[in-house]
Structure 1
Amino acid sequence: MDAHQYTNHASSVDTSVHVPRRYAWVIFALTFGLLISDYMSRQVLNAVFPLIKNEWTLSDSQLGLLSGIVAIMVGILTLPLSLLADRFGRVKSLAIMAVLWSLATLGCALAQNYQEMFIARFMVGVGEAAYGSVGIAVVVAVFPREMRATLASAFMAGGVFGSFLGMALGGVMAEHFGWRWAFGGMALFGLVLAFLYPIVVKEKKIAPHREVTKIQKKSVQAKSPLRTIYSSHSVIATYIGSGLQLFVGGTIIVWMPSYLNRYYGMTTDSAGVVAAVIVLCGAVGTIFCGMLCDRLGRERPDRKVSLAIVYCLVSCVLLVIAFAMPAGKAQLLMICVGMLVALGTNGPSSAMVANLTHNSVHGTAFATLTLANNFLGLALGPLVIGRVSDVIGLQQAFQFMPLVSVAAAAVFLYAKYHYHQDMARLDGQIAAEEKLLNQDQMQQQCVEDKI
């Protein structure tokens, strides 16, 4: 099978044909809005780090744990909760998740000490656990397959936009009204969207309209589509490479307000706004990197892997230079440039996972990707850098942090080596399923003709 044939890969069944395009964009907008709420609730904490640190006399390790516990719970629960969502209905599940994380964020506003804040943040993580994987599965299902990397990048950029708004608005609200109001504002926004979502988005309108015969079910069970989420070298490498690269981007998102507060002497609101602008650069870069991935990978899907490697190495060079520079406008500009590329692997990684796994288990496959992103990146990054910061200082910890991108690039290189072979194997599996299905349909037609 040549490279061009991979563009029509059987695993990439187009499930969007029955969904009107205008309605698909409405679904995207609401799902995107809830993802923004998700990350606003998660990242508002970073904007108020200095206030909570002083009020409760906390170490950087304790602050890192308050941030990391959300990602840890997401990593632990994303897979089982995604499986439940696929079974009981994605729309209903997404709405319930949003209500839970919003109420937990309200609990953060009411916390009176570190222990209560930790419990509330724990529950935020439980509520957010499967949202990213289930939400992106909904988005992928209602749009054509050739838009996957672009839409995945745009959708995942919602997390960065949410981080931007959470830190910017949270910092301003905390400075003028107190840090508790910052959490309360994020909670209210999430509850409003959670109420609207199931009213507008209907499960029956977005579910794929396919007739599954008995023999197709037997074939699917025999081939076990669930195995495709871990049965190939390249898909496992994609999970790991994506998580390692998010170690870098996630760490910058979490610790940048504190960095600006300590080394630039900025107030909480100023540090939140500047950090939010840096995060916004990451969101913009994520979208453009995903668009470039779709454009260059239209005829050669393996270019997605090559671009992921390039994004890792370029971001490493830019951020190493940035954190070696003295504090000032030039350093902030270089950090922004580095963030334009640092989160660029989100789109290629999501598209690769979609291409390498059976379409019937995409929700679970994205849950596995989310698990890796949270354990290796969003949880491990802030925790490790917080611990290192307690020993050598945040400035020095940031200077070593970008080197993790080199490890991510090496893992993506391993994925590239196996990519074509693994896609061909999955293509053969699904082709066999379709052959059995066609045979069964022909037999049924013959029976009906005789009758």
Structure 2
Amino acid sequence: MQTTKNERVPYWIKTVIIFFLGWVVIYAARSVLSPVMPQIETEFGLSKSQLGLISSLFFLAYTLLQVPAGLLGDRLGRKRILVSGFMLFTLFMAAISISPTFLIFMLLWMLTGASQGVYYGPQYALSSEAIPKKWITLGSAVIGSGMSFGIALGYYLSSFMIEHYHTTWKMPFLAMALPVLIVALLMLVFIREKAPSTDANPAAGTETKGDFKFGDLFKNRNLLMAYITIFCSIYGFFVIITWLPYYLQKERGMDIVHAAGIASIVPWISVLGTLICSYISDKLGRRKPVVLCMLPFSLLAIFGIVYSSSEAALIGVLVLYGFIGKISLNPVLIALVADNAPRAALSTAFGLYNFFGMAASIFAPYVTGFIADSTGSLNAGFYFAAMITVVGFVAMLFVKEGKRI
């Protein structure tokens, strides 16, 4: 299929915009939980371990869908999987607002996680085929920056509804159902199963799926190191986005709106960091040097959250983490996966990448809560997240990469 001459907006730009909005609503839906965790803790009499388990079970369901969604996308159609998942996502988010018990809330919350789990692999497979190769990292960065906007939107929506409109903690979930439905309809109308070919990306839309062996993805050294690195990066990231608003309320004495505002520094700054780091990676034609520069600063920033003795210092380290943390790192690693994965297994490779990465999101909320129950403070949980980051740095040292022509 060729790009039509009368198409005023190139298809790949439409793809970037719609998939950007997809990440906005996914992360906003997740993030409405964090500011209302104290209310949930009080209403149901939960320990910090049990409170962390809410997010851990959500991400367990999300993670378990990664590889099946990638495989189904490669075989049955990526668009079909995306749209079906988002329709279910809409339904479950709306249903949370009328959940009568904690058990039903948890069941619906896990189903929401499962419905989100079909997005990653098919989405990045479709966008990687649509975006011209010279813009692949930057295009993926723009898509991924939707995560930043979504986190901030979720924090503000939840805290504002509770503080100013005095709604129950369930109402922000209902409010998010409408934008999710809108994005599902946009994907249904505008996204194509095969991207049109362009001069910049002549192979798009013409490749055959071909046969591949699932085990071959584990034989690629660079893919394995990318999987390990994203696990380590996401662990620290989910400690921060899950627990930081709670930490600022309980251990720094901030009110819910102020805590949400401080915590949202990370996603807002990461928009700039994502674009700059991705641009540098594209200009270098290499991913490894950029990642090796970013991870040590992530380590420093996570330690700094605990060590900062003033609000100004805390803001400083959150700005640093936002600039070089997981959201900024992700498009660079996505490009590394796209560089090394076989075309016929692209959706599966991205699903596997996110499976390993999001496995960290299962452990991070619960382990951090368990450490807090054991030590009486969340500080040790942040220290542990920093040490996990070191493992990711070591893994990236083993990537073999030359400058791409």
TM-score, structure 2 length as denominator? 0.90
2:206 is equivalent to residue 210 of structure 1: yes
- Residue type matched to 1:65 in 2? L
- The CA deviation string for residues 42-77 of structure 1, in whole angstroms up to 9 with x for no partner, is 221112111111111111111211112222122211
Of 310, 313, 325, the residue aligned with 2:293 is 310
Of 176, 197, 201, the residue aligned with 1:186 is 176
Q: Which has the larger radius of gyration?
A: 1
2:43 is equivalent to residue 55 of structure 1: yes
Instruction: Say whether the 8 Å CA contact 1:160–1:283 is kept in structure 2.
Output: yes
CA distance change for structure 1 residues 205 and 148 in 2, over 3 Å: closer, same or farther? Answer: closer
Cα separation, 2, equivalents of 1:337 and 1:410 = 21
Shift of the alpha carbon at 1:123? 0.2
CA distance change for structure 1 residues 279 and 209 in 2, over 3 Å: closer, same or farther? Answer: closer
CA distance change for structure 1 residues 308 and 211 in 2, over 3 Å: closer, same or farther? Answer: closer
Gaps of 5+ in 1: 1-15, 428-451
Shift of the alpha carbon at 1:225? 6.0
- The CA deviation string for residues 310-356 of structure 1, in whole angstroms up to 9 with x for no partner, is 21112212332342122422222222222311223212211111111
Which residue does 2:201 correspond to in 1? none
Cα separation, 1, equivalents of 2:91 and 2:398 = 42
Shift of the alpha carbon at 1:242? 1.2
SS of alignment partner, residue 345 of structure 1: helix
Which residue does 1:116 correspond to in 2? 104
Cα separation, 2, equivalents of 1:92 and 1:64 = 33
Which residue does 2:365 correspond to in 1? 382
Cα separation, 1, equivalents of 2:94 and 2:158 = 14
Of 12, 15, 33, the residue aligned with 1:24 is 12
SS of alignment partner, residue 179 of structure 2: helix
CA distance change for structure 1 residues 367 and 334 in 2, over 3 Å: closer, same or farther? Answer: same
SS of alignment partner, residue 266 of structure 1: coil
2:227 is equivalent to residue 243 of structure 1: no
Which residue does 2:389 correspond to in 1? 405
Instruction: Say whether the 8 Å CA contact 2:129–2:195 is kept in structure 1.
Output: no
SS of alignment partner, residue 309 of structure 2: coil
Cα separation, 1, equivalents of 2:135 and 2:231 = 23
Cα separation, 2, equivalents of 1:285 and 1:63 = 31
Matches within 5 A, 1:74-153: 74-153=62-141
2:314 is equivalent to residue 331 of structure 1: yes
Q: Which moved more, 1:271-280 or 1:18-27?
A: 18-27
- Residue type matched to 1:139 in 2? S
CA distance change for structure 1 residues 371 and 280 in 2, over 3 Å: closer, same or farther? Answer: same
Select the structure that is richer in helix: 1
Matches within 5 A, 1:249-328: 249-297=237-285, 301=286, 304-328=287-311
Gaps of 5+ in 2: 198-203
- Residue type matched to 1:101 in 2? F
Instruction: Say whether the 8 Å CA contact 1:250–1:381 is kept in structure 2.
Output: yes
SS of alignment partner, residue 411 of structure 1: helix
CA RMSD between the two structures: 2.4
CA distance change for structure 1 residues 292 and 211 in 2, over 3 Å: closer, same or farther? Answer: closer
Cα separation, 1, equivalents of 2:2 and 2:295 = 35
Instruction: Say whether the 8 Å CA contact 2:20–2:145 is kept in structure 1.
Output: no
Of 152, 160, 176, the residue aligned with 1:172 is 160
Instruction: Say whether the 8 Å CA contact 2:371–2:378 is kept in structure 1.
Output: yes
- Residue type matched to 1:118 in 2? M
- The CA deviation string for residues 242-263 of structure 1, in whole angstroms up to 9 with x for no partner, is 1111111121111111011112
- Residue type matched to 2:178 in 1? L
Instruction: Say whether the 8 Å CA contact 2:195–2:205 is kept in structure 1.
Output: no
Shift of the alpha carbon at 1:18? 4.3
Percentage identity across aligned positions? Answer: 23
Instruction: Say whether the 8 Å CA contact 1:225–1:358 is kept in structure 2.
Output: no
2:54 is equivalent to residue 66 of structure 1: yes
Cα separation, 2, equivalents of 1:280 and 1:324 = 22
2:203 is equivalent to residue 231 of structure 1: no
Shift of the alpha carbon at 1:388? 0.7
Cα separation, 2, equivalents of 1:32 and 1:260 = 29
Shift of the alpha carbon at 1:358? 0.9
Shift of the alpha carbon at 1:133? 1.7
TM-score, structure 1 length as denominator? 0.81
Of 156, 159, 166, the residue aligned with 2:147 is 159
Instruction: Say whether the 8 Å CA contact 2:69–2:121 is kept in structure 1.
Output: no
SS of alignment partner, residue 251 of structure 1: helix
Which residue does 2:23 correspond to in 1? 35
Q: Which moved more, 1:351-360 or 1:325-334?
A: 325-334
Cα separation, 1, equivalents of 2:2 and 2:392 = 36
CA distance change for structure 1 residues 191 and 274 in 2, over 3 Å: closer, same or farther? Answer: same
Cα separation, 2, equivalents of 1:283 and 1:397 = 26
Of 313, 322, 339, the residue aligned with 1:355 is 339
Instruction: Say whether the 8 Å CA contact 2:236–2:389 is kept in structure 1.
Output: yes
Which consecutive segments of 4 or more residues in structure 1 shift more than 6 A? none
- Residue type matched to 1:296 in 2? L
Which residue does 2:200 correspond to in 1? none
- Residue type matched to 1:387 in 2? F
Of 188, 195, 210, the residue aligned with 1:198 is 188
Between Structure 1 and Structure 2, how many residues are aligned?
Answer: 392
Which residue does 1:367 correspond to in 2? 351
Which residue does 1:445 correspond to in 2? none
Matches within 5 A, 1:413-432: 413-415=397-399, 418-419=400-401
Shift of the alpha carbon at 1:206? 4.9
Shift of the alpha carbon at 1:238? 0.9
Instruction: Say whether the 8 Å CA contact 1:246–1:373 is kept in structure 2.
Output: yes
Cα separation, 2, equivalents of 1:35 and 1:206 = 23
Cα separation, 1, equivalents of 2:50 and 2:207 = 53
